[in-house]
Chains A and B, each alone.
Chain A
Amino acid sequence: MSERELDVPPLLERMAAGLTRELERRDGGPPILVGVHTGGVWVAQALHERLRARPPLGTLEVAFYRDDHATSGLKAAVRTSEVPFTVDGRTVILCDDIIHTGRTARAALNALFDYGRPAAVLLAVLVDRDARELPIQPDVCGECLELAARQRLKLHGPDPLRLTLEEASP
């Protein structure tokens, strides 16, 4: 087992720059940030500071929207969704740490729409690792990585944020 660490702040800077460009292009009014528990919430918090976004931060627990409940059950620690503002007509930046198969993003979109009808949703992720199983792509990502199935990418946090890449011996 080998492990290396990826530097997080440059990825966040790249995401913030990408989001700023994207928001200017769209001109959709001040955005609201929503993070997917748990890593996505840390990413949303970091972006919240960098984008100087005003409204409070939303958090989404997607466990109740996953498609693998019938096979895998509920994970041990289920957290609470908190969306303390109306999402109707707003531009929502949905943040997650890693997009892989796309199933979490699918569940998060469904969870988000139970709170209302946003004008637009942007998907922002720290790392886009390949092997998508659904036609969902991030609008902004800090880094794209092509990884083998035996490589495990994990975000640790909240402070400091550390991104580790573990490789099990083949």
Chain B
Amino acid sequence: MSVQLDAQGNLRHLLTTEGLPRELLTRILDTAGSFSGVIGKSVKKVPLLRGRTIINLFFEPSTRTRTTFELAAQRLSADVLNIDVASSSTSKGESLLDMLRNLEAMQCDAFVVRHADSGAAEFIARHAAPGVAVVNAGDGRHAHPTQALLDAFTIRHEKGALEPLTIAIVGDILHSRVARSQIHALRGLGAGEIRAIAPRTLQPRGIEQLGVRLYEDMDAGLEGADVVIMLRLQRERMRGALLPSEGEFFSRYGLTEQRLERTHPQAIVMHPGPVNRGVELDPRVADGPRSVILQQVTNGIAVRMAVMSMVLGGQGEAAPASIEEVAG
């Protein structure tokens, strides 16, 4: 998708991890690594986005994602406004574009968008005023790029280079924007082997073409894995007869200590949260020594700081060979 990159290949918006060049993905993770040092200072802020305004535009409820976006913006010294649209003006019949124009008239610099419809963030990016950046915080079943990037960051931080790793993604792959974005990001970063473990009814068609190995049997899929990413089971989907019951799902696809023994002895366990305990994960695994679920939350702040500082950074006329020469 070209709308998210400018002519020089710099990040203008972040809408999806699909098609992002490896060099840019690596740059986002490296920048995030640098931001994670900010949290260790006595002043946990940098003045990078002072005077800029970021609007969190959430058409779908979210606690963790919105909070970490908000904290990330504040640690960059930006002003942040949270708009919960479900209870706001679209219910008064205001169209999305009207709302966008009104918010732009308030001189904002970026929108962080979550929406139940696939493609909503791209729609906003295409219609936003020049210079206004859009970051997708989850759109329908399509993409959740910052979640995928923070997962990649966490994997790289815990396990080092991605090339030798076997990464298993388990659960409702079909409906998961997180899984889709993870697969694109991990592929783009050169991860060794990506496995998708799901019941046949929740396996998206054509996913093998992305270089993913499909497993219906969880034990086989976990064999020797270095990283296990459990997806959140959307309870509302259960009613659609795709799965008989939560109990049966757990017995076939829940991650227990016993199943974890099939993985590499140093394997880590991840989950985008919030965890349905006893549905995707045995609580002993969720709270166990292999779990990096809370590290994912912490890393989410640094990764979102990196993304926002990149989409809101000017692109200059031409990249200088060395910053020292420009300002010394």
Q: A residues engaging B (CB < 8 A)?
A: 39, 61, 63-66, 68-83, 96-101, 103-104, 110-111, 113-116, 129, 152-155
Q: Which residues of B contact A71 (CB under 8 A)?
A: 314, 316
On whether the beta carbons of B46 and A70 are closer than 8 Å, the reply is no
CA distance A134 to B325 in the complex (A): 16
On whether the beta carbons of A97 and B324 are closer than 8 Å, the reply is yes
On whether the beta carbons of B315 and A73 are closer than 8 Å, the reply is yes
On whether the beta carbons of B325 and A154 are closer than 8 Å, the reply is yes
On whether the beta carbons of B46 and A103 are closer than 8 Å, the reply is no
Q: Please pick, from A72, A98, A154, the residue contacting B313 in the complex, using a CB distance under 8 A.
A: A72
Let me know if B37 is at the binding interface, CB within 8 A. yes
CA distance A129 to B326 in the complex (A): 12
B288 to chain A, nearest CB (A): 30
Q: Which residues of B contact A100 (CB under 8 A)?
A: 325, 327-328
CB closest chain-A residue, reference B77: A64
Let me know if B229 is at the binding interface, CB within 8 A. no
Q: Please pick, from A68, A81, A82, A152, the residue contacting B327 in the complex, using a CB distance under 8 A.
A: A68
Q: Which residues of B contact A78 (CB under 8 A)?
A: 30-31, 34
A164 to chain B, nearest CB (A): 12
On whether the beta carbons of A76 and B319 are closer than 8 Å, the reply is yes
Grouping DSSP codes into helix (H, G, I), strand (E, B) and loop, the B interface class, with mixed when no group exceeds half, is loop
Q: Which residues of A contact B327 (CB under 8 A)?
A: 66, 68, 100-101, 103-104
CB closest chain-B residue, reference A87: B42
On whether the beta carbons of A74 and B42 are closer than 8 Å, the reply is no
20 further A-B contacts with Cβ under 8 Å, apart from A65-B46, A71-B314, are: A64-B48, A65-B47, A68-B314, A72-B314, A72-B326, A73-B10, A73-B314, A73-B316, A74-B309, A76-B319, A80-B34, A80-B36, A81-B37, A81-B41, A100-B325, A100-B328, A104-B323, A114-B45, A115-B43, A154-B325
On whether the beta carbons of B324 and A64 are closer than 8 Å, the reply is no
Q: Which residues of A contact B30 (CB under 8 A)?
A: 77-78
Q: B residues engaging A (CB < 8 A)?
A: 10, 27, 30-31, 33-38, 41-43, 45-49, 52, 76, 309-310, 312-316, 319-320, 322-328
CB closest chain-B residue, reference A83: B41
On whether the beta carbons of B314 and A70 are closer than 8 Å, the reply is yes
Q: Please pick, from B31, B37, B325, the residue contacting A152 in the complex, using a CB distance under 8 A.
A: B325
Q: Which residues of B contact A110 (CB under 8 A)?
A: 47
On whether the beta carbons of A115 and B37 are closer than 8 Å, the reply is no
Grouping DSSP codes into helix (H, G, I), strand (E, B) and loop, the A interface class, with mixed when no group exceeds half, is mixed
Q: Which residues of B contact A69 (CB under 8 A)?
A: 48-49, 309, 312-314
Q: Which residues of A contact B31 (CB under 8 A)?
A: 74, 78
A64 to chain B, nearest CB (A): 4
Q: Please pick, from A39, A64, A79, the residue contacting B309 in the complex, using a CB distance under 8 A.
A: A64
Q: Which residues of B contact A103 (CB under 8 A)?
A: 327-328
Most buried by B among A39, A63, A73, A76: A73
On whether the beta carbons of A64 and B46 are closer than 8 Å, the reply is yes
Q: Which residues of A contact B309 (CB under 8 A)?
A: 64, 69, 74
A159 to chain B, nearest CB (A): 18
A-B pairs with beta carbons under 8 Å apart, 15 shown: A64-B47, A66-B327, A68-B326, A69-B314, A72-B316, A73-B10, A80-B36, A80-B37, A81-B37, A81-B41, A82-B37, A104-B327, A104-B328, A115-B43, A116-B42
B29 to chain A, nearest CB (A): 11
Q: Please pick, from B33, B37, B47, B323, the residue contacting A75 in the complex, using a CB distance under 8 A.
A: B323
Q: Which residues of A contact B43 (CB under 8 A)?
A: 113-115
B13 to chain A, nearest CB (A): 14
Most buried by A among B48, B323, B325: B323
